[in-house]
Amino acid sequence: MDDIICSCNHITKGDIVNAIQQKGYTTVEEIQDALDAGTVCGSCVDEIEEILKSVK
Ligand code: FES
């Protein structure tokens, strides 16, 4: 859970999982708006999608 998913913004897997579980986000766009993850180089977007699928 401490794995860095978005190195541009220092967002960990745990940060993203918590946001999904607590706020009910279902799309990458919502994660981008809420956490700024995936908004710089975009290379982590696929990983964010995988997390979204795995957490539901
Ligand atoms: S690693 Fe997430 S935007 Fe660059």
At 21 the pLDDT is: 97
Q: Which residues face 12 on adjacent strands?
A: 4
How many angstroms separate the CA atoms of 8 and 23, rounded? 23
Would you kindly state where each structural domain of the chain is located, as residue ranges? 4-55
Distance 26 CA to ligand 1 centre (A): 19
Helix (H) or strand (E) holding 52: helix 45-55
Q: Whose CA is nearest to atom 1 of ligand 1?
A: 6
CATH architecture of 4-55: Orthogonal Bundle (1.10)
What pLDDT is recorded for position 56? Answer: 73
pLDDT given at position 8: 98
Say how many residues make up the chain: 56
What is the value of pTM for the model shown?
0.94
Per-residue pLDDT for 5 more than 80? Answer: yes
**pLDDT tens readout for residues 20-53:** 999 999 999 999 999 999 999 999 999 999 999 9
* Ligand 1 geometric centre to CA of 8 (Å): 5
